[in-house]
Amino acid sequence: MTARPPVTAMLPPAPTDQVPESGRAGLSEASREHRDTLLRVAIIGNPNTGKTTLFNALTGLRQRVGNFAGVTVERVEGSVKGPDGHRFTVLDLPGSYSLSAGSPDEQVALEVLLHRDSDRWTPDVVLVVVDAVHLERNLFLTSQVLELGIPVVVALNQYDVAKDEGIAIDVPELIHALDVPIVPTVAKRGEGLDPLKRALLTAATLPPPQRRFTLPPDVRDALEPLTTCLTDAGLTRSAAGMEALRLLSVQKSEAHLATVPRLQAEVQDAIATLRHRGFQPNRLESELRYAWIADVVERTVSRPRSIKQNLSDRIDRVVLHRVLGPLIFLLLMAIVFQSVFSWAAPLMDGIEVLIGAMGGAVGDRMADGDLKSLVVDGVFGGVGAVLVFLPQIAILFAFITLLEHSGYMARAAFLMDRVMRTVGLHGKSFIPMLSGYACAVPGVMATRTIEDPKDRLATIMVVPLMSCSARLPVYTLLIGAFVPATSLLPGLTLQGATMLGMYLLGTVAALVVAAIFKRTLLKGPVRPMILELPPYRLPSAWSLLVSVAQRCQLFLRRAGTVILALSIVLWAMATYPRTIVDPSLPEGARQERQLEGSVLGQIGHAIEPMVRPLGYDWKIGVSIAASFAAREVFVSTMGTIYGVGGENEAALTDKLQTETNPTTGARVYTPLVAIGLMVFYVFALMCISTVAVTVREAGGGALGWKWASIQFAYMLVLAYGAAWIVYAGGRALGFAG
């Protein structure tokens, strides 16, 4: 194996014909001032270029996640320290094929780059990440960014893959063609990061690039009034030129068109003039840009004459097979859910022992009384019952991230396209649904890549049916307590198969409900799917670690805030008012009397008639009611209820297995009750965050609340009906209830 040469930054020639000496001196002064200021860098690129991997490599764990103001597109920012002490703040913009704003994701990126972002986040430099293997496809977005009047740096990513495939890129000639700094990078191995940071600093002191091709005179004259209108509205001359060309092919009305006087009229006048002169306005931008791109690629890229079938193509012959493909997908899902049990068990046991020891150590140092009960039973019993499941959530997110970063998720969407078409959608809708396995909130946000409004809304309505990680603690608790670890196949137990069954049940239900929506309220034609299948890649361990760490951090934050607060409230409700109990009664009976007389017990008994047909007692009923805030609260509520007043030494699973009805002596929890309870959680929408996101993504205001109410109502009816069928049907078949 030959050693690779180090990747270095390559800069364009100094623009001596554009910047006078006095201007250069001013730029140097500005550069010195930058040492103590924060340089803002916006990262943009096509999907599957390694943009997020590069972002993670630059920022490590120094990231913060939120939403763009007014929208629910995830906003990820990070901080970077440059080689000479400069500090950068880096914003990872949504992946975009262009700035044409065909989807909400692209609209967000466009607003930031045109300084229309409501947060006023103005980048000093734009870092465009391009795939060195597919340079021609990536240069369309690059050509648009070059015209925005902002300094630009290009990261020529996956440079190693291009060389391995025999693709030679004349980087100096490419710099001459683009007139911006270009840095070859290998993001997954962290190669080129230091040269990239230096290039960002250098670019901030250079004049911004200009359009790299010339408009035909007739086109330039036709667009001049529109360009002037955009300039008067606040855009730079360069950005106005890009926007004028872009607006010719806009298929739908954009909000800012109504805010700029005469803008809509100028757009229509320009379109009419161009048509009169023999041009097709909706194709003009793509024709001009791709003509320039073809010339650039011809001068800078050489490929081997005989292109052999690459590894991705050979793998796809098996993975995308009509029969083998779906079987491989099911096998992968089975491995994921079996691993959730097998690999996580030792770590879960360790966390359980640690939390128990901490609770015991704290309790031993406290006097008996309500404060001790609050700390031991409320905090350690409630929050600890949820924290035990952190290893399983980490393993689930690790697998999902691995499948996403490796390129397999796009294949799963391709495989599902045939199935999705039978319900009125296409495979692109399955990507948000797959994201729903991790969390419904980013799954709903991922629908912003779907262009058709009806398809997007139908997908939003069913994404919460995909079993998210918040359901995992509920499934794990009940499966671990009531489903035996019987081996079904080598490496697959009944527990893993049951978990897989819950996920498949939600997926099948989502497809059925989507079919109903697409044939009734959201009826519309099935559109063809255009989906890029990225090459298979081995994700970097660091990028994988960062993604999993972010999700675990969010889970811990939730456990330390929402679940902690609810656990304390529930402990108080289960403790007060104090009930006078006959001391001669057994300890278990005294605890039961105290709970029944408490506020929580009274609420539970009021709820019990509604859940009794499902086989649930008041404790399950009140735990379900509490978990409408967040599904994980079911487990913490059960931990609080069974910890209050008890010795709190036995694990929650043991307490559920031994819980009996004080009147009849019958088991409260049976396998049939556990299966029905899991089915209830498969269908019920018990997540305030998901409701809030649905309201905003479905249109906001009264329209958003209408669709969110429909979503919540149909899922609750579906949950109750399915749980009743499981319980009543199981009893009719002779299973113990």
Domains within the chain, CATH numbers bracketed: 21-204 (3.40.50.300), 217-283 (no CATH)
> Cα–Cα distance between 623 and 120 in angstroms, integer?
44
How do residues 168-182 score in pLDDT, each as one tens digit?
999 999 999 999 999
Whether the pLDDT of residue 527 is over 70: the answer is no
The packing angle between helices 671-683 and 472-482, to 10°, is 170
Look at phi and psi of residue 665 and say left if phi exceeds 0, alpha if psi is from -120 to 50, else beta: left
The strand ranges marked E within 480-562 are: 487-489, 492-493
Nearest to 655 by CA among 582, 591, 735: 591
Q: Are 362 and 375 in contact (CB under 8 A)?
A: yes
How do residues 568-603 score in pLDDT, each as one tens digit?
887 888 788 877 666 776 665 666 677 778 888 888
Q: Are 289 and 213 in contact (CB under 8 A)?
A: yes
The predicted pLDDT at position 140 comes to 93
The predicted pLDDT at position 581 comes to 65
Helix ranges restricted to H, 255-323: 263-276, 281-300, 311-319
As a whole number, mean pLDDT of residues 634-638 equals 82
Q: Are 68 and 105 in contact (CB under 8 A)?
A: no
Q: How many helices (H) and strands (E) does the chain have?
A: 33, 11
> Cα–Cα distance between 468 and 506 in angstroms, integer?
10
> Cα–Cα distance between 181 and 620 in angstroms, integer?
62
The predicted pLDDT at position 66 comes to 43
Here the tokens at position 412 are: 């799963």
As a whole number, mean pLDDT of residues 479-488 equals 89
Nearest to 397 by CA among 352, 347, 345, 439: 439
Is residue 630 classed as helix, strand or coil in its secondary structure? strand
**Residue 10 DSSP label:** B
Whether the pLDDT of residue 28 is over 70: the answer is no
Does the bond joining 490 to the residue before it have cis omega, within 30 degrees of 0?
no
Whether the pLDDT of residue 458 is over 90: the answer is yes
Q: Is this prediction's pTM over 0.85?
A: no
How do residues 392-402 score in pLDDT, each as one tens digit?
778 877 887 88
Here the tokens at position 105 are: 């994701």
How do residues 665-713 score in pLDDT, each as one tens digit?
788 889 999 999 999 999 999 887 788 889 988 888 899 999 999 999 9
**Residue 381 DSSP label:** I
As a whole number, mean pLDDT of residues 22-37 equals 38
As a whole number, mean pLDDT of residues 330-334 equals 83
pLDDT bracket for residue 25 (50, 70, 90): very low
Is residue 710 classed as helix, strand or coil in its secondary structure? helix
Whether the pLDDT of residue 34 is over 70: the answer is no
Range among 70-84, 131-145, 430-444, 649-663 with highest mean pLDDT value: 131-145
Whether the pLDDT of residue 512 is over 70: the answer is yes
Here the tokens at position 694 are: 């649905």
Q: Could you give the C-alpha distances from 215 to 13, 75, 141, 180, 456, in angstroms and in order?
A: 24, 36, 18, 21, 37
How do residues 277-330 score in pLDDT, each as one tens digit?
999 998 899 999 999 999 999 999 998 865 555 677 888 889 888 889 888 988
Residue 67, classified by CB atoms within 10 Å of its CB into exposed (0-12), middle (13-18) or buried (19+), is middle
pLDDT bracket for residue 649 (50, 70, 90): very low
Residue 641, classified by CB atoms within 10 Å of its CB into exposed (0-12), middle (13-18) or buried (19+), is buried
> Cα–Cα distance between 453 and 435 in angstroms, integer?
19
> Cα–Cα distance between 723 and 679 in angstroms, integer?
6
The strand ranges marked E within 392-495 are: 487-489, 492-493
How many C-beta atoms surround the C-beta of residue 622 within 10 A?
Answer: 28
Q: Are 145 and 113 in contact (CB under 8 A)?
A: yes
> Cα–Cα distance between 632 and 340 in angstroms, integer?
17
- Amino acid at the residue 110: L
Whether the pLDDT of residue 4 is over 90: the answer is no
> Cα–Cα distance between 395 and 340 in angstroms, integer?
6
The strand ranges marked E within 61-148 are: 63-67, 74-81, 87-92, 125-131
pLDDT bracket for residue 638 (50, 70, 90): confident
Q: What number of CA atoms fall less than 13 Å from residue 295's CA on the CB side?
A: 11
> Cα–Cα distance between 341 and 395 in angstroms, integer?
10
> Cα–Cα distance between 679 and 720 in angstroms, integer?
9
- The neighbouring-strand residues paired with 126 are 42, 152
Percent of residues, the chain, with pLDDT higher than 90: 30
Rg, Å, the chain Cα set? 29
Q: Could you give the C-alpha distances from 30 to 101, 170, 193, 195, 202, in angstroms and in order?
A: 34, 32, 23, 21, 11
First to last CA, the chain: 66
> Cα–Cα distance between 241 and 507 in angstroms, integer?
47
Q: Which helix (H) or strand (E) holds 184?
A: strand 182-184
Whether the pLDDT of residue 190 is over 80: the answer is yes
Degrees to nearest 5, angle at CA 439 with 437 and 443: 85
